[in-house]
Structures are given as C-alpha cells and as structure tokens.
Structure 1
Amino acid sequence: MHIFYTPDINSDFYSLSEEESKHCTRVLRLQQGDSVNLIDGCGGLYTAIIQDAHQKKCQLQVIDKQLEFGKVPYVAHIAVAPTKNLDRIEWFVEKAVEVGVSEISFLKCEHSERKDLRLDRLEKIAISAMKQSKKGYLPLLHDMVPYQKFLQTCVPEDTFIAHLEDDATKGLKDYYRHNRAHCILIGPEGDFSRSEIEAAYERGIRPVTLGTSRLRTETAGLVACHTLQVLHDIHAPA
C-alpha cells in the first residue's frame, strides 16, 4: 500500500499537499476509493480512503489508526562528522533511517573537510527513507555543531567514541545495555585528532572499535547503527 507523510494530521479527514496530491493522482494514478497509508513521523500509522482524487488537494478519510507503530525501547544516536563528498553523507542518512537510527547529529571536527550542511535536504532524504522502509518514527536530525560543544551536551555513560587508535579494543557488545540509549561518535575521513579523543576521555566517554577493517566515515556510522539493532534483537526477551 502506498505511504504518504502527513506530519500535521489531527482528524479523520485530511488533504494531501499539492506536491503529494500530484504524486498520488498523476504518478501513482490512484483514484477515489483506493486505500493508502499515512505516517506522521511520531508513531502514527493511518489507513485512509481517497474521497476526492483532486490533483492539487486530494481528500482522504481515515478509517483506521495505529499509535506507536514501530516503536523500539532503545535509542540509537549516531554523531558523525560529515564527509567532504555530500553524496556519501546523504547515503548514510538514507541507509541509517532504513536500519532504524533514532537520532543523527553532525559534528565539526579538527580534521573535518566539510563545514556546513543543507539540513532541509537531509530531512527530505530521511522522510523518503522512512516512507520506503515503513518506519513509524522520523529520526531527529541536528544541524552541525563544533565537536567540543557537542561533548558538553552528551551523557558520558551513554556515549562511546569509535576511533582508529590502539586503545579502542572493546566493541559495542562489551558495553551494550538493553533498552538504553547509546550514542556513538564517528569521526571524519582523517579520524578524530588525539586532542579530541583525550577530550572525550576526560568527559568519561569510552572508546569502542567497530572491527578490524578501516571503514569509511559513512560506513562506520551505518555499522554502528546496525550493530546496536542486532544487539537489541539478541537481548530482547523471546
């Protein structure tokens, strides 16, 4: 069933935006009486019937509603330094949403080659990925902030830094706590600087390894996200 993003839905009757109406009627060629799904990005999954297949203001009637759709009892937060190549960080956002990331923060580090982002474009990519993978929740996306400033806002016991230095010997499985928040820091192409690593240690943040391979930034972020999902599945009650 086709899915539409409807963040402002608040009643049993809803009108799609002009863009979504055109997509519904011209591209998908849906007609009056056809059923569609709506998601609000906050756990609401709705089944609706098209009442008027208007190309600019398609009218829907909600016939079923499910709350907390796809809710998971843990938080997977990836804080990553964006890559110089924008396509790669867009790929990461898309795939992380599909896997089940809860929150993404963007870091400006000493070795960062990218200093700014178009958060509105990344949000559109996240929405598309949420619809495609039928997730009930739209992950939080935070604009780029200096690394040191981010360290002051995180909860040290829930935060881990993935880097390539020799003292990162334990994996996420060694620290995983079921149904808790986990924030993983992922550095830029040149990795975190030694001073940034030491600053994390001073805050009580522990190092983790993501394996023996040297991973690209976006791959490391996705591996961390997927590892948290797998650990949750392993430790979930049967």
Structure 2
Amino acid sequence: SSTIGGHTVQVGSPGRLLPAATGPEAAAVAEVEDAGQTAVLVLRDDTPVGVIGIADRLRPDAAATVAALTELTGRTPVLLTGDNERAARHLAAEVGITDVRAGLLPEDKVAAVRQWESERRKVLVVGDGVNDAPALAAAHTGIAMGKAGSDLALETADAVVVRDELATIPTVVALSRAARCLVVQNLFLAGVFITVLVAWDLIATLPLPLGVAGHEGSTVIVGLNGLRLLREAAWKNPVRGGAA
C-alpha cells in the first residue's frame, strides 16, 4: 500500500485485501478470473475502486515441451502456481496439463515436492521466480529459466537454461539419461576387462605387455564410448526433432 494525494491505495490479491467481498467488486473479480486472468484488486481508503486483469502469455514451445516431457517420463507435468485456480486451469488446458495446484505459497510448493519424494519419485522442478526457489532447492533437480529468472532462483537451481527456451528441458532430460546409460556401459566394460585380465593371470601366466595392452585398451574403449555424447545425434531435441 502507499499514500497518493492523501488517500491510502492498496493493490493486491482480492482474497487478501477483501476476503469477504460480495458486492460488484466480487462479480468483477469472478468475471476476470473466468476469462483465465489473474485478478488484482485496487482499494482506495479501504474502498474497492477497480479490478485489474493480468494474463500470462504462453511461450510458443510450451505445449510441445509438455508433450515431450510426458513422452519421456510417462507422466504429465504438474502445474504449481500461486495464481488463482480458474486462471491456472485455463492456462494449463492450453498446454495439455490436467493436474493443477493453484493458490500455493512457496511452502506449499515445497510440501508438494516433499510428498512426491516420499512416494519414491524423482522430482524435477522448473521455475523462474523467487517463490519457486524453495521448491527448486527441495527437488532432486531444479532448473531455472535464465533470461527471466530471479537471482534467487538462479542461485538455487541445479541447472540454468541460458537461452530461456522451454524446449531445452526435454533435451536436457534425454541427454542426462543418455549420459547415465553411457556411465553404466563404461563401468561394465571396464569391469569385464579387469576381470578377464585378473582371471587370466591367476589361472595362467599373463604376459606383462599383454596385460598393459589390455588395461590401456579398455581405457581407450571406455573413452571412445563416452565421446559418443559429442555426436550431433546425441543432442537431438525431442520437441523439434532435430539437434538442439
């Protein structure tokens, strides 16, 4: 709130400024929210004088990103937001999200993340605001949108999307899975080589040159296998169907 021209002016959420509103202002708030917008109430000397409707614009790649994440993880993303439920559901429906949890405070978002983690789920949180920072920290992995992200969100997240493109998120997930698969493969290959060399030396006599060649050869194979992540095909974008 602030004082303008001798009058006290307050701007904020209708539920906090005037929770028991039943007059014309309540109808105006309902009309704005039914249109899929977030209502902001303006009070002058504790009297409602206006309602402002604020609408979030969808990113061009939002729907494709949700579809790609759903295909990758087998689960549709969940929308956690502090906005009113009607506006949140209107926006979520446009991108294919059905599970919407609206009107959440930062601690409510953290509680949702903790609940999923208690169910032994791996949780990835994507956010850009100060209110998202606690949830980013609580999740197994937090990704902040770099261009519009708050400093707190950027510092808290595990990764930052510098280009501010939602389509990058499915790419990161797919690439992370490929990297994990390569690590497992490399451990298996190295284990097989070492086991064979040790068994050979215990059962018979392993010539030193052959032992060195076998050990260093396994290192070369593991390194070459890891270099596969540098191929352009490894950076395929699930949203665009090409290289990221």
Question: What band does the TM-score fall into relative to the shorter chain?
Answer: under 0.3
* Higher RCO by CA contacts (8 Å cutoff, separation 6 or greater): 1
Answer 1 or 2: which has greater helix percent: 2
Normalised to the residue count of structure 2, the TM-score between the two structures is 0.27
* Structure whose residues are more often strand by fraction: 1
